[in-house]
Structures are given as C-alpha cells and as structure tokens.
Amino acid sequence: MKVVILDTPTDVARYGADLFQQQLQRNPASVFGLATGSTPVQLYRELIERNRQGLLSFREVRTFNLDEYMDLPATHPQSYRHFMNSEFFDHIDIDPANTRVPPGDAADPIAACTDYERAIADAGGIDIQLLGIGRNGHIGFNEPTSCLTSRTRVKTLTRETIEDNARFFSAGEHQPHLSVTMGIGTIMEARLVLLLATGESKAAAVKAMVEGPVSAWCPASALQMHPAAVVLVDEAAASQLSNPGFFKHIEAENQALLARLGHCP
C-alpha cells in the first residue's frame, strides 16, 4: 500500500487526476471503476478541466461505478447514476453507452449483480478503481463484516451509513436502506486501486485501514493485500497515523527516483 500525504484536498485531486491521465496516455481505451460521494467531486472537476483543455480524452473509455441505491430509478436526484451524469459524464467526451452503474431498480437485482460481474470481465477488467472511504471503513457499500472476497451483490446499509447519507434526502423522502455494490473481491481485482480521503472525519478510518489488522470490521483494510493500492490523503485525514513523516519520506524518495529516471511522477 502506497500512502501519499498531501497538504490539501486540491492537491489530492490533482495527484489523482495525474494517475488517470497517465493511464489514458498508456491506453486511451482504459476501463475505470468510479465512485460517488463528496470526496471524488474535486477529482472529477480536475479531469473535466483537463478534458476541456484537450489534455486527455474519454472517447474510448468504459466505466463501471461501484454502487447504487436499491429502489431508486436512474432519474432520481439522489441516485448515483444521476450523480455521475451531473458531476462528471455530462461534462466530458465519453459515450454514455460506455458508462455502467449497478441497476438499483432492476426487476431481479440478484441476476443484475451477476450480469454486472460478467460485464466487467468482458471489458477486460478494471485498470483504475477509484474509492472513497466511509467513517466506518467501508468501501463502496461494503459495510463492516463484509466478506473480503465478496462479489457484486445486494448489501444492507448500516445505521451509521444511513445517518451519514440522510443529509442528501428531504424530510419524509424515502431513503433506501439497501444497495447494490461491487464486492471487495471485485475491487481487489482492479489493476490499480486509488483511494482518496480528505478531512479529519476520515482520520480514524484511514488509520484503521493503513495500520490496523486486515479485518472485515474495516473493509478498506483489505487494500493492504493489494499489489498496487495508492492511498491519497490530506493532512487532516492523515492526522491519526502513528508516523506520517515515514510516508512523506518514502514519497519524497520515490519522486526523486522517478525524476532521476526521467519518468512522470
């Protein structure tokens, strides 16, 4: 696990965007796993601006989103399909037919989960899987106690996650307690996993993910076992790490080596 501690959320977004841009330079037809939530929005805005400037293109890209609420149509303003369209897809040169979000309103959600796994495999797997992290250590909607080898499935949300997301729903509005989510096993098959965390509210989860045991109680801790996981955090999210200077030293040495070899950081 590579942990990179940066000064601000803006720095986190720019570093993450650099990794996406480098991947697109290697393969314009890359497959990206994408995430929703407040943390990746700044990254998406950075990618939108680079697309506008002609620095990168999504014309050949295919995407698969991590998760979706159950029983919300794609047109619902709180659906993750609506979020992705309004925050990202509608502003870049991607073919909408190449964007996939788990169908939370499918007539048979169990079968839809199997189809989603098959579609990812048929696309050749995911090149970069973008993640955030919940305060309880969840990734996607893989809540604590999730199987670390799980596949795309229907998942019950914890009370903590429901309470965290309640601010997005109006009083009296139906708020789903179920979701469709990629499994941890699905996420772990991505060639690169990129997790973003910003703000003091994520500091305890970041510490558990990086320093704690690999445990179903902190689903994100499974990334310790991934051969190419990059964790980008700002100073606030890194504030509970035991030795943040250690990670800063490693990153400085890595950047120096890349510069000496003439590679992009």
- DSSP-H helix ranges across the chain: 9-26, 41-52, 80-87, 109-122, 159-165, 184-188, 203-211, 244-261
Residues in the chain: 265
- Indicate if the alpha-carbon torsion angle 222, 114, 69, 47 is positive or negative: positive
Bridge partners, residue 181, by sequence? 67, 153
Tokens of 91: 């502003």
Residues 6 or more apart in contact with residue 106 via CB below 8 angstroms: 112, 180
Smallest CA-to-CA distance from 5 within 221, 250, 264 is with: 250
Query: From the CB of residue 42, how many other CB atoms can be counted at a distance below 10 Å?
Result: 19
- Indicate if the alpha-carbon torsion angle 210, 214, 217, 221 is positive or negative: positive
User: Which residues are known to be catalytic?
Assistant: 67, 136, 138, 143
Tokens of 244: 């943040």
Residues 6 or more apart in contact with residue 46 via CB below 8 angstroms: 13, 14, 16, 17
